[in-house]
Amino acid sequence: MAGQRGRDVLIKISDGGAPESFVTLAGIRSSELELNQQPVDATSAESPAGWRELLAGAGVKSMRVRGRGLFKDAASDARMRAVFFAGEIARWQLIVPGLGRFTGAFQIAQLSWGGTHDGEATLSVELQSAGELVFGATP
């Protein structure tokens, strides 16, 4: 299988409308999606030879998403700012080519802007999952 282009990893925010549509965050240069599953330790005095045992299917699942890039002040940025300042939990779509699409509720955990006197303005965002995510594999 051929490699996938990093620029095709997309972070999209819902417009909040009905029907719902998703808008790609403008200016993002790097994206990172991290799935987590917290293990539940089920080790006891009866565990074979004292080895740790984990309880299958009992851990808390979560996803963290980070995006960094250029600040474009696009419509997607305005929507993201409004969601952040209102403290909303919005629906997002995360697309990984060759893998699939995650859709669900996320809260903006961190939002920042920066820049230097001789460079471009930058944007950084971190999302934390806030409910069940739906995954659709790439056909």
Count CB atoms within 10 A of the CB of residue 83. Answer: 20
| Tokens matching residue 63 | 């996803």
Share of the chain above pLDDT 90, in %: 64
| Closest among 57, 64, 75 to 104, alpha carbons compared | 64
Count CB atoms within 10 A of the CB of residue 33. Answer: 17
Instruction: Assess whether pLDDT exceeds 90 at residue 134.
Output: yes
Instruction: Assess whether pLDDT exceeds 80 at residue 6.
Output: no
Q: How confident is the model at residue 98 (pLDDT cuts 50, 70, 90)?
A: confident
Cβ-count burial 92-117 (b if 16+ within 10 Å, e if not): bbbbeeeeebbbbbbbbeebeeeeee
| Closest among 75, 79, 137 to 111, alpha carbons compared | 79
CATH for 6-137 is 2.30.110
Instruction: Assess whether pLDDT exceeds 70 at residue 94.
Output: yes
Count CB atoms within 10 A of the CB of residue 43. Answer: 12
Q: How confident is the model at residue 97 (pLDDT cuts 50, 70, 90)?
A: confident
Q: How confident is the model at residue 53 (pLDDT cuts 50, 70, 90)?
A: very high
pTM: 0.86
Instruction: Report the distance separating Cα 84 and Cα 121, nearest Å.
Output: 19
Query: Are β-strands 122-129 and 61-70 bridged in parallel, bridged antiparallel, or unpaired?
Result: antiparallel
- 3-state DSSP helix/strand/coil % of the chain, to nearest 5: 15, 45, 40
